Chains A and B, each alone.
Chain A
């Protein structure tokens, strides 16, 4: 299985809602990533988990809360978002430290709209 899956594919939420994005991989990768991407722009790194521990937080607002329940799962909890948070949220995984290449496998993303 060489796939990263993300659910839901689309999400519309109000500014007072609480929702979660889910990501799963079964490739045995020990690094998992959350990115935010606006149209026609590169992905912006938000968080990195390495061996289920948060290793990088790129100064992301606290209304985004990541969680890594086990080595295959990654969640992103959303609360009190703003309309400018509307974007494609991508999850990726890599075989951390494998040959030092950190090649990433991306999921299809969750298209988030905040009203």
Chain B
């Protein structure tokens, strides 16, 4: 069974601080996705990382995929209250013609003004 360990599970910080969320597995994933979910809404895809060692930036968010494609991190610089939400990492598992996501436990982020 492929599992993704995500940490920390809860994070409460002040506006302007930096933070990093980690997603680790003992298994290799073909790709890994990061989603953000706000209360009362569905998750929204932020980024997909595919290549080992890949780094992608989305404004103040930086995503890294480990060289061995078993781990990933999300770094937020100068967090804003609008970054508040549930952050989910998800690894892709393919069976035949069907792909499904294996989610980490999620990180609930609260950014206080």
A31 at the interface (CB under 8 A from B): yes
Contact of A43 with B by CB under 8 A:
yes
Least Cβ distance of B82 to chain A in Å? 18
CB–CB B104/A102 < 8 A: no
B-binding residues in A (CB < 8 A): 4, 31, 33, 40-43, 45, 48, 50-51, 55-56, 90, 92, 94, 96-97, 100-109, 111
B positions within 8 Å CB-CB of A: 30-31, 33, 35, 40-45, 48, 50, 86, 88, 90, 92, 94-101, 103-106, 108
CA distance A94 to B101 in the complex (A): 11
B50 adjacent to A101 (CB under 8 Å): yes
Alpha-carbon separation in the docked complex, A43 to B35 (Å): 11
The interface centre, meaning the residue of B42, B43, B94 with most chain A CB atoms within 10 A of its CB, is: B42
**What's the minimum C-beta distance from A110 to chain B, rounded to whole angstroms?**
10
What is the chain B residue whose CB lies nearest that of A42? B103
- Given known A42-B106, A105-B45, A109-B42, contact A100–B31 (CB-CB < 8 A): yes
* Contact indicator A42/B104 (Cβ below 8 Å): yes
A102 and B99 form a contact (CB under 8 A): yes
* 7 A-B contact pairs sorted by A residue (CB < 8 Å): A42-B106, A55-B97, A55-B98, A100-B30, A100-B31, A107-B42, A109-B41
When the two chains form the complex, which single residue of B33, B94, B95 contacts A103, counting CB atoms closer than 8 Å?
A: B33
